[in-house]
Amino acid sequence: MSGAPIFVYHDVVAGADALAAVAPVHRPYVLTRAQFVSHLEALAAADLGAAAPCASTVSELLDAPASGRFVLSFDDGHESNYSEVFPLLAARRWPATFFVVASWVGTRAALSWSQLRTMADAGMEIGSHSLTHASIQGCSRAEIRREFGDSKRILEDGLGRPVTIASLPRGSTEPSAAAVIAELGYRAFCTSEPGLVSTTTNPFDAPRIAIRWRTPAAFVTRVLGGHRLTLARLRSSYAVKQVGKRIVGAERWRRVRGAMVAGTARTGL
Q: What is the mean pLDDT of residues 44-71?
A: 93
Mean pLDDT of 237-249: 69
Q: Please, are residues 57 and 89 in contact by the beta-carbon 8 Å criterion?
A: no
The mean per-residue pLDDT over the stretch 9-38 comes to 96
Q: Is the pLDDT of residue 258 over 60?
A: no
CA 246 to mean position of chain CA atoms: 22
* Close Cβ partners of 213 (under 8 Å, ≥ 6 residues apart): 19, 27, 28, 29, 30, 31, 35
Using DSSP's 3-state secondary structure scheme, residue 194 falls into coil
HSE on the CB side for 24, CA within 13 Å? 14
Over residues 153-173, the pLDDT tens digits come to: 999 999 999 999 999 998 778
Indicate whether 265 pLDDT > 60.
no
For residue 70, which of 51, 59, 55 has the smallest C-alpha distance?
55
Has residue 255 got a pLDDT over 70?
no
Phi, psi of 193 (to 5 degrees): -75, 130
- Mean pLDDT, rounded, for 230-244: 80
The confidence score (pLDDT) of residue 252 equals 61
Question: In CATH, which of 3.40.605.10, 3.10.20.810, 3.40.50.10190, 3.20.20.370 is domain 6-267?
Answer: 3.20.20.370
Give the whole-angstrom CA distance, residue 151 versus residue 105.
11
Asked if residue 212 lies in contact with residue 10, where contact means CB atoms within 8 angstroms, the answer is no
Supply the pLDDT for residue 256.
Answer: 56
CA–CA dist 246, 251 (Å, integer)? 10
Residue of higher predicted confidence among 180 and 175: 180
The confidence score (pLDDT) of residue 257 equals 54
Interval 162-186 mean pLDDT: 93
Position 266 scores a pLDDT of 47
Q: Of 89, 145, 86, 141, whose CA–CA distance to 111 is shortest?
A: 86
CA distance 101 to 163: 13
Residue of 191, 132, 148 whose CA lies nearest to 8: 191
Q: What is the mean pLDDT of residues 37-50?
A: 93
Q: Please tell me the distance from the alpha carbon of residue 176 to that of residue 49, in angstroms, as a whole number.
A: 41
Q: What is the pLDDT of residue 242?
A: 67
Span 220-225, average pLDDT: 95
Note the pLDDT of residue 15: 95
pLDDT digits (tens, 9 = 90+) for 83-114: 999 999 999 999 999 999 999 999 999 999 99
Task: Determine contact, residues 79/115, Cβ cutoff 8 Å.
Answer: yes
